[in-house]
């Protein structure tokens, strides 16, 4: 919904009546997002303000979000896009948002949030493209006589194993995509137990034709159906090895057939090399169908069973053209029909796409009153490309303005040279003199005549032959192609110069520079950290790697250059939001280096990401768990299992406290621990954690479904439980608590408050006020109050939760430790250091009971207590704590571990404060030796201007060193 006060001449009463009818009286039309265009920063109409108030009050539990904006309209569109994307992801696709620090929607610094599905790097744009391509492929009014082929495809599915893949072959435009999409729809309708995985390849060189992305996407689909939360490699070679394993794994448990369909597989880059799994024996219940053009089918595949699509018979071809004419009330004469019949006799003139185009040209001519002329011209065209050229000339001739004709040529050429297409808004920026009316009219004509289509909001060619036609008609050589590429390069480069790094600029600019052969400019583009991050986080690892290989850099050079760029960026990084962004960049670099196999180099950036997040967010923020998980995964590959186990357990504790014990994020950590124990041959422990993980994933999948918002389903579940069980039950209270946590994580604090309070009240009635579940509700309400900066209320709630947990739980219970930690942090934040001391002491006791006195977790708790004493100027009490922590770290982690270096640095600062300069210098020297050994892994030092995370002490004075600091309070 948009509210605007711009047009004073518009009859406002009619506008308000329409809005009231649409948004106030219609129960299905309540808006989720309202863009309010201000004039001079003010609401100039009282009636508009009243309308917004009414809309806002429709649903107090889930208010519409407002964007009040008075700046540049393009900026307003961008803000609206961000919010709409977030609503779609969270409430429609059901993706959880793990960012607790979501900014106000009206903020000038609002940025689209990144969705990170654990170890799985997913591109929602690629997935949306596949959904749209499938729909477009199946969107035909004519069956084109394909019914006869359906039984052949059905026979393949029913044939006994082993059986090689089935080839569906035919010429370009013969209808292979239409056949496969229609058959898939029939299979899904008639055989619900059959799992069908499909991929439709677009034109060569587009993202949809990149082999590693196809295999990655299919593997992820298999993992989803396996309820797996395992890590997925992005290394193209390893992906090829893993995909058949996942296929075998799922086929063993799936009750029914698994069918893999890949359309236009011959358009895949280096298809025989990257699709070699096709020639391996397949599991007994797996069938593979691939379509190819006859001319480009790999020779080795021609021996496979083949279903060849014949051209249409002349009678069907003539009937389709006549039906198209009838749709616009055109009746062909007997003589015209005879001409058609004589013409439609060859393979090319009975091609499905050719006939479709022919019919559209005749219908277009009929509306303009020139049937005879167009029929004569169409009959001169003996193949699809020549008919497409006639289509282009026909559209051009219908234009009266030479400027519009030139715009059509330019737009088609830009779409032609692009990687994945061009959006309408980009065209408006590229051609500011063009009006929306001209653009929409032109695109309508090009779409109607099967030249252009939409995919993920981008204009693309509907068919490969349309792309070829534009090359032949308008682009007479490499110089012309290069000039259009350069126009797009200049456009996307200007976006980068304005700090506008979007998925579009990351998709197009590096690819265009590579096609142009501009190695130096491509190198500079790759060193834009946000471009590389965008590609990597969307799973385009192989593409990113190919760019680096093109500029002549090996893995080590890549690592060094990225790290140097990141250090340079950090020098100018100020403010909490920028620090969070910096942590994301460090994590991306660490994960990229891990995927490259550079494990020792990957540790440093992941460690830095961890410490920044602990400082900028909170030691128990879910993103800290994400950092711990990523760092642990490196140690697993490095076979440093002890380090990995400690980090995974810390990530598990945070995830359980943040999301609950039955959340998929918790399952991810359980699965990681199971895999870790499996690698160490600790099979009983591995099985224990794997079963827990599987149950959570299974339950979450059934509860959530694939395409529904989690919050909406949980509300419906609550309604059903209330009807069947009565309102006051422990299960209903648990559901209310889960809803409260969910809305808290979505930053919908008021709704979260309502659900958490209802959960607490119900638990107190049903279970009694001293039950541990009541402590959980109190703890969550306290976290909510802390988020709202209601510190006194938060303190009271934490204290009540702590009192219950002390009496009800074991002294080393994780929930007790969680409340102790958060209440201690709150006391410290509010300056109540004396009250914080006993809680930090209790945290040490709990960790000693949980892990034993020599565990690194105990050392961290000792450091936290020492830091508190230092802040209270009680250096004598702090000294033995630091020394004991140092001994534990050295014995358990080794003398050169970063935590040893950090503790040495803190001891050096303490000695300096006490006036023991010689000892301080000695300790500081040791700390620097450890630091240099750590940072030399990437070929250079990595200065940091920030203190350690959590509670770790640092002296922020002129003599405080700028060094990497390890993980903080845990």
Measured distance CA(561)–CA(758) in Å, rounded? 54
Helix 464-474 and helix 384-397: axis angle, to 10°? Answer: 60
Percent over 90 (pLDDT), the chain: 25
CATH for the stretch 399-475:
1.10.10.10
Q: Give me the residue label for tokens 């993920």.
A: 456
* CA-closest candidate to residue 775, choices 801, 811, 752: 801
Phi, psi of 238 (to 5 degrees): -70, -35
**Cβ pair 488, 452 in contact under 8 A:** no
CA dihedral 461, 462, 463, 467 (to 10 degrees): -20
Say if domain 809-970 classifies as CATH 1.25.40.10: yes
Structure tokens at 568: 């340079």
Separation of alpha carbons 175 and 58, rounded Å: 50
Cα–Cα dist 102/81, whole Å: 16
- Read off φ and ψ for residue 288, nearest 5 degrees: -125, 135
The residue that leads in pLDDT, 750 or 40, is: 750
- Residue 536 confidence (pLDDT) above 70: yes
Report the side by side order of strands in the sheet with 306-308: 195-200, 258-263, 286-293, 166-170, 306-308
Out of 654-658, 680-684, 701-705, 748-752, which region has the weakest mean confidence (pLDDT)?
701-705
Please give the pLDDT value at position 581. 87
Q: How confident is the model at residue 32 (pLDDT cuts 50, 70, 90)?
A: low
Distance CA 398, CA 390 (A): 12
Q: Which phi and psi (to 5°) does residue 72 adopt?
A: -65, 135
What does the DSSP assignment read for 493-508? Answer: HHHHHTT---HHHHHH
Sign, Cα dihedral of 770, 771, 775, 777: negative
Name the phi and psi angles at 58, rounded to 5.
Answer: -60, -45
Residue 539 backbone dihedrals phi, psi, to 5 degrees: 85, 10
Is the pLDDT at 111 greater than 50? The verdict is no
Per-residue burial over 82-96, b = 16 or more CB atoms within 10 Å of its CB, e = otherwise: bbeebeebbbebbbb
| Residue % of the chain over a pLDDT of 70 | 80
| pTM exceeds cut of 0.75 | no
Paired with 36 in beta bridges are: 3, 68
The sign of the torsion formed by the CA atoms of 159, 163, 165, 169 equals negative
Question: What's the CATH superfamily of 124-308?
Answer: P-loop containing nucleotide triphosphate hydrolases (3.40.50.300)
pLDDT score at 947: 31
Q: How confident is the model at residue 941 (pLDDT cuts 50, 70, 90)?
A: very low
The residue-averaged pLDDT of 500-504 equals 80
Burial classification of residue 808, based on how many CB atoms lie within 10 Å of its CB (0-12 exposed, 13-18 middle, 19 or more buried): middle
Q: Is the pLDDT of residue 719 over 80?
A: no
Q: What is the pLDDT of residues 567-624, one digit of tens each?
A: 888 888 877 778 888 999 999 999 999 988 888 889 989 998 998 888 777 777 888 8
Quick: pLDDT tens for 840-853. 898 888 888 877 88
Output the six-digit token pair for 282. Answer: 């397949």
Half-sphere exposure of 848 (CA within 13 A, CB side): 10
Q: Around Cβ 263, how many Cβ atoms within 10 Å? A: 26
Task: Answer whether 664's CB lies under 8 Å from 700's CB.
Answer: yes
- Residue 410 token pair: 């330019």
First to last CA, the chain: 45
pLDDT for 29 beyond 60:
no
pLDDT band at 409; cut points 50, 70, 90: very high
Residues in the chain: 970
CATH for the stretch 708-797:
1.25.40.10
- In this predicted model, what pLDDT tens digit does every residue of 229-261 receive, in sequence order? 566 777 777 778 888 888 888 888 777 789 999
Judge whether 79 and 110 are in contact, CB under 8 Å. yes
What is the rounded CA–CA span in Å between residue 430 and residue 880? Answer: 67
If one counts every other C-beta atom within 10 angstroms of the C-beta of residue 587, the result is 25
Strands 195-200 and 258-263: parallel
The token duo for 283 is 């599991």
b/e map 227-258, b = 16+ CB within 10 Å: bbbbbbbbbbeebbebbbebbeebbeebeebb
> What Cα–Cα distance (Å) separates residue 279 from each residue in 14, 208, 303, 513?
67, 22, 11, 36
The arithmetic mean of pLDDT across residues 324-338, rounded, is 86
pLDDT tens-digit readout, 147-173: 788 888 888 888 887 788 889 999 888
Q: What is the pLDDT of residue 107?
A: 31
CA angle 393, 394, 400 (to 5 degrees): 95
Q: Is 724 helix (H, G, I), strand (E, B) or coil?
A: helix
* Alpha-helix runs per DSSP H in 460-502: 464-474, 478-497
Residue 61 pLDDT > 50, yes or no? no
Model confidence at 94: pLDDT above 50:
no
Range among 200-209, 507-516, 638-647 with highest mean pLDDT value: 507-516
């Amino acid at each position: 919904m948009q509210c605007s006060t711009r047009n004073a001449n518009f009859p406002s009463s009619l506008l308000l009546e329409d809005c009231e009818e649409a948004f106030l009286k219609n129960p299905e039309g309540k808006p989720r997002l309202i863009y309010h265009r201000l004039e001079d920063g003010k609401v100039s109409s009282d009636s508009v303000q009243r309308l917004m108030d009414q809309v806002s009050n429709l649903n107090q539990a889930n208010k519409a979000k407002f964007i009040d904006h008075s700046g540049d309209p393009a900026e307003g569109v961008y803000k609206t896009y961000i919010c709409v994307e977030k609503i779609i992801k969270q409430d429609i696709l059901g993706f959880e948002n793990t960012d607790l620090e979501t900014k106000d929607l009206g903020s000038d610094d609002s940025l689209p949030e990144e969705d990170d599905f654990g170890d799985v790097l997913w591109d929602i744009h690629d997935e949306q493209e596949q959904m749209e391509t499938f729909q477009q492929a199946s969107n035909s009014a004519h069956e084109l006589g394909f019914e006869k082929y359906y039984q052949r495809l059905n026979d393949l599915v029913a044939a006994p194993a082993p059986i090689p893949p089935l080839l569906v072959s035919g010429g370009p435009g013969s209808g292979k995509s239409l056949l496969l999409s229609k058959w898939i729809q029939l299979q899904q309708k008639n055989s619900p137990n059959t799992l069908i995985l499909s991929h439709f390849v677009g034109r060569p060189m587009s993202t949809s034709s990149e082999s590693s992305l196809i295999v990655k996407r299919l593997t992820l689909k298999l993992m989803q159906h396996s309820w797996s939360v395992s890590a997925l490699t992005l290394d193209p070679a390893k992906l090829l090895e893993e995909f058949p394993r996942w296929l075998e794994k799922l086929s063993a448990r799936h009750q029914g057939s698994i069918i893999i369909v890949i359309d236009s597989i011959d358009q895949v880059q280096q298809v025989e090399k990257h699709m070699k799994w096709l020639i391996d024996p397949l599991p007994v219940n797996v069938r593979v169908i691939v379509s190819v053009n006859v001319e480009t089918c790999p020779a080795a595949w021609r021996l496979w069973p083949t279903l060849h699509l014949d051209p249409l018979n002349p009678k069907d071809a003539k009937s389709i053209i006549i039906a198209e004419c009838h749709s616009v009330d055109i009746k062909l004469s007997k003589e015209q029909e005879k001409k058609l019949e004589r013409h439609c006799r060859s393979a090319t003139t009975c091609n499905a796409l050719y006939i479709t185009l022919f019919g559209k040209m005749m219908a277009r001519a009929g509306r303009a009153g020139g049937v005879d002329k167009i029929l004569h011209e169409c009959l001169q065209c003996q193949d699809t490309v020549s008919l497409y050229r006639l289509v282009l000339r026909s559209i051009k001739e219908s234009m009266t303005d030479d400027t519009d004709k030139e715009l059509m040529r330019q737009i088609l050429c830009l779409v032609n040279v692009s990687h994945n297409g061009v959006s309408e808004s980009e065209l408006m920026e590229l051609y500011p003199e063009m009006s929306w009316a001209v653009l929409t009219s032109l695109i309508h004509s090009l779409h109607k005549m099967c030249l252009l289509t939409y995919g993920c909001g981008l204009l693309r060619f509907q068919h490969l032959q349309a792309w070829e036609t534009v090359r032949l008609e308008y682009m007479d050589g490499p110089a012309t192609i290069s000039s259009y590429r350069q126009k797009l390069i200049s456009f996307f480069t200007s976006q980068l110069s304005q700090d506008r790094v979007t998925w579009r600029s990351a998709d197009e600019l590096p690819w265009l520079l590579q096609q142009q052969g501009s190695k130096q400019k491509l190198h500079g583009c790759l060193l834009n950290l946000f471009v590389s991050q965008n590609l990597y986080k969307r799973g385009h690892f192989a593409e990113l790697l190919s760019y680096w290989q093109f500029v002549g850099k090996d893995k080590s050079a890549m690592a060094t250059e990225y790290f140097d760029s990141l250090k340079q960026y950090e020098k100018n990084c100020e403010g909490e939001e920028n620090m969070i962004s910096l942590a994301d960049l460090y994590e991306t670099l660490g994960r990229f280096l891990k995927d490259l196999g550079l494990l020792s180099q990957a540790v440093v950036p992941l460690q830095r990401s961890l410490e920044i997040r602990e400082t900028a967010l909170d030691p128990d923020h879910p993103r800290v768990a994400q950092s711990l998980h990523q760092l642990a995964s490196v140690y697993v590959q490095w076979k440093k299992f002890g380090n990995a186990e400690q980090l995974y357990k810390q990530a598990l504790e945070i995830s359980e406290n943040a999301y609950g014990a039955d959340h998929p994020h918790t399952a991810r950590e359980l699965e990681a621990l199971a895999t870790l124990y499996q690698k160490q041959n600790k099979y009983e422990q591995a099985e224990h954690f794997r079963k827990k993980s599987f149950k959570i994933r299974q339950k979450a999948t059934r509860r959530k479904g694939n395409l529904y918002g989690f919050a909406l389903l949980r509300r419906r579940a609550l309604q059903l439980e209330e009807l069947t069980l009565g309102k006051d039950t422990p299960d209903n209270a648990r559901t209310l608590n889960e809803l409260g946590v969910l809305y808290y994580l979505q930053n919908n604090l008021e709704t979260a408050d309502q659900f958490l309070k209802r959960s607490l009240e119900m638990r107190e009635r049903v279970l009694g006020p001293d039950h541990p579940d009541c402590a959980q509700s109190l703890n969550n309400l306290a976290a909510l109050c802390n988020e709202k900066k209601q510190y006194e209320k938060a303190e009271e709630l934490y204290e009540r939760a702590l009192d219950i947990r002390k009496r009800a739980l074991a002294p080393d219970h994780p929930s007790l430790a969680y409340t102790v930690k958060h209440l201690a942090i709150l006391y410290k934040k509010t300056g109540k250091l004396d009250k914080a001391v006993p809680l930090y002491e209790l945290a040490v006791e709990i960790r000693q009971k949980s892990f034993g006195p020599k565990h690194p977790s105990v050392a961290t708790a000792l450091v936290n207590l020492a830091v508190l004493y230092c802040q209270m100027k009680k250096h004598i009490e702090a000294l033995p704590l630091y020394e004991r922590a140092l001994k534990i770290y050295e014995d358990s982690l080794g003398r050169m571990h970063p935590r040893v270096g950090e503790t040495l640095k803190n001891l050096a600062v303490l000695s300096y404060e006490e006036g023991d300069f010689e000892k301080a210098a000695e300790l500081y020297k040791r700390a620097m030796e450890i630091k240099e050994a750590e940072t030399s892994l990437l070929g250079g030092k990595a200065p940091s201007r920030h203190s350690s995370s959590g509670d770790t002490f640092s002296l922020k004075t002129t003599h405080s060193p700028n060094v990497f600091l390890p993980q903080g309070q845990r």
